[in-house]
Amino acid sequence: MARVIVDVMLKPEILDPQGQAIARALPRLGFSGVSEVRQGKRFEVEIDGPADEAALAEVRKMAETLLANTVIEDYSVRVEAE
């Protein structure tokens, strides 16, 4: 068993209205010193076997196919727990 994390964020050049709405709300809630907020998705994928290179390649394919829209999003894959 291993837990693989897939983080999916909008590409930097893509407008992030959700992140902007949060950044605008923070001062009204009394927070300062935040220049930008970007919001994305986080997936925790529990895989049966070890998180070896083959398993990570498989998770990358899952990200390409299902978890991220690679036209507007970037993704990263990392192992969180063996």
Which residues of the shown chain bind its own copies in the complex (CB under 8 A)?
Answer: 1, 7-9, 19, 22, 25-26, 29, 31, 33-49, 55, 58, 61-62, 65-67
Residue 43's φ and ψ, nearest 5 degrees, are: -115, 135
33: left (phi over 0), alpha (psi -120 to 50) or beta: left
Minimum distance of its own copies from residue 17's CB (angstroms): 14
Q: How far apart are CA 13 and CA 71, in angstroms?
A: 11
The smaller minimum CB distance to its own copies, of residues 68 and 71, is found at: 68
The smaller minimum CB distance to its own copies, of residues 55 and 79, is found at: 55
The smaller minimum CB distance to its own copies, of residues 44 and 71, is found at: 44
